[in-house]
């Protein structure tokens, strides 16, 4: 014979909080996925537009940029792009470490 379960006010409140946290977590994950998906879609549109532009102007004559005395030649676009993203990655990693350290400092210590 099964014993009936009686929910106490504390158990009901705990269940409600757990359900709310789960719903917030699910909503946050869905928002994250939608944000990344939208970003990737926009990026693909940009690539498609750039490819169309390159095809349209590829027939135009291109002259080399003049070399100025005393100024070294600029890095190619791929090198400059890689360098820029390497700097951005370093800055983002430093910011993340700072935010994590600040969070750990401001949150009360957890008891074991």
pLDDT digits (tens, 9 = 90+) for 53-78: 888 888 888 777 677 777 666 678 88
- For the chain, give every domain's residue range: 15-54, 76-106
- Short-list 103, 85, 82, 105, CA closest to 93: 85
Residue with tokens 């498609």: 48
Residue with the bigger pLDDT between 31 and 76: it is 31
Q: In the structure encoding, which two tokens stand for residue 100, read together?
A: 């994590």
Quick one: pLDDT at residue 4?
52
The DSSP result for 44-79, as a single string, is: HHHHHHHHHHHHHHTTS---PPPPPTTSPPPPPHHH
How many angstroms separate the Cα of 14 from the Cα of each of 10, 19, 31, 109, 110?
A: 6, 9, 25, 23, 20
pLDDT at 17 over 90: no
Residue 83 near residue 75, CB atoms below 8 Å: yes
Quick one: pLDDT at residue 64?
72
- Short-list 91, 46, 97, 11, CA closest to 38: 46
Percent of residues, the chain, with pLDDT higher than 90:
42
pLDDT at 52 over 60: yes
Q: Please tell me the least confidently modeled range out of 15-24, 33-42, 66-75, 76-85.
A: 66-75
């Amino acid at each position: 014979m099964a014993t009936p379960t009686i929910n106490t006010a504390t158990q009901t409140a705990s269940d409600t909080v757990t359900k709310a946290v789960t719903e917030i977590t699910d909503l946050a994950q869905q928002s994250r996925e939608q944000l990344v998906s939208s970003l990737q879609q926009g990026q693909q549109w940009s690539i498609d537009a750039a490819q169309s532009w390159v095809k349209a102007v590829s027939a135009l004559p291109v002259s080399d940029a003049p070399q100025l005395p005393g100024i070294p030649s600029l890095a190619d676009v791929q090198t400059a792009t890689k360098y820029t993203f390497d700097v951005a990655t370093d800055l983002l990693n430093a910011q993340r470490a700072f935010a994590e350290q600040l969070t750990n400092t401001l949150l009360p210590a957890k008891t074991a």
